[in-house]
Structure 1
């Protein structure tokens, strides 16, 4: 499967975002002996993507697919069209079913741990390393989000929006800093403009289930996820 370096990096990060924390740690465990432990154990999700590219040049996606098979995440192999995805089509595993013993999708697993107000990255996420990659909605597509929807999301959020924008929405740090400078002392408008940037990038995929799946990767105000569920049938 021919994938450009940038596309390969983004795909690796997106599939790591789709794993709940327990399976992310298991993913690293299964790489022990193939990547030095001193690099592997403290690795965040973006760090692990870099390690895969470094230690398996040209084969990072194939190696990720092998590990995902061991974790019974055939749904992710299909979703991201990893090498061997065609062999998964005849499998009985369905997307979202094999997300752990609870049967929840990665987004649902993360969302269940959300507490308190505002946005904060989960403790395992570490600091953002460069550009992230879009997450993907586990649910079917719904109507496109409107600017009014985005404003209601912005009004329910806190001040950790830049880290969430980089880590979970895959936006550029330079663009987020420009948004902050353009809207000084107005966090709601800063978040709103960030979400508009995401909406413009996602185009026909800018739906409530899609945004819910991305924001569930962080500990957001539960009201945000509840709102997106109410308008998108998540």
Structure 2
């Protein structure tokens, strides 16, 4: 059965309808990741148990007139740029100009949720790391985490030198959310690595592991 509204956009529907269609287009894990990126911007007590319609109502309430911009910015982080184009969200032209998901410029994109909601402890601009490599951004880490899958915990212990108790804590905080567990683990590694948190360094760390070749291919691209 095809998508009932493949061309739905702000010009053809209300903002609420567009928000709900976007949420419905996300897989369950992507929906949980979407909520993760809102944790510093919306009340956790309401955000964590929110259903898709409830989250749409929260977005409209907390970001009046800007909800679609916030959604588009988070879709770039997931990354689901295809939904930006499908629903003609703000920044659609910019998304179409970068078909490879994330441009390597390291600059802050228009509509980034950190701009909309007043800042985040993780800077979007990515200074040069050791050897002149770009420091890995949060969206880079999420893409790697999605490829690591259920092997994230083994990678953390054997390749990244993280304590098993810390990884267990991450798993307990993100039950049944494999990609988010891997993402949190990589954030922990990035914090410890500091200026060495580049794609090349992470690739070297992961090289002893028998991982999906796509992991190393992605790190080569980054």
Common topology (TM > 0.5): no
| Higher RCO (C-alpha under 8 Å, 6+ residues apart) | 1
TM-score normalised to structure 1 length: 0.39
TM-score normalised to structure 2 length: 0.41
